[in-house]
A = this chain, B = another copy of it.
Amino acid sequence: MSTKATFYHAGCGVCVDAEQQFAESLDTTKYDVEIVHLGEAPSRLAEAEAAGVKSVPAFVIGGQPYHINFGASLDALK
């Protein structure tokens, strides 16, 4: 069974780069990847924050946040 991996981003340059290098490059037999653009889906901000996401781009895998470099803080997207 594949694990859910949610990639949160905001369309920034750092985000797009991380999306190409990681979100589109994970083993799909291991992960079920969902890509969420928080600028377009602000209703998802609360779930990202609840999982511990402080900035984008970031993954949430198994409930744990993984921040990749720094594009924008979550506060800046509210």
Contacts and interface: CB of A to CB of B under 8 A. Distances in A.
Task: Name, among A25, A61, A64, A66, the residue most crowded by chain B CB atoms within 10 Å (CB to CB).
Answer: A25
A26 interface: yes
Interface string A44-70: 000000000000000101101111110
Query: Number of contact residues on A: which range applies?
Result: 10 to 19
How many identical chains are in the complex?
2
A31 B21 CA distance: 10
B69 A18 contact: no
A73 interface: no
Contact of A69 (B17, B27, B30, B66): B66
Interface of A: 17-18, 21-22, 25-28, 30-31, 59, 61-62, 64-69
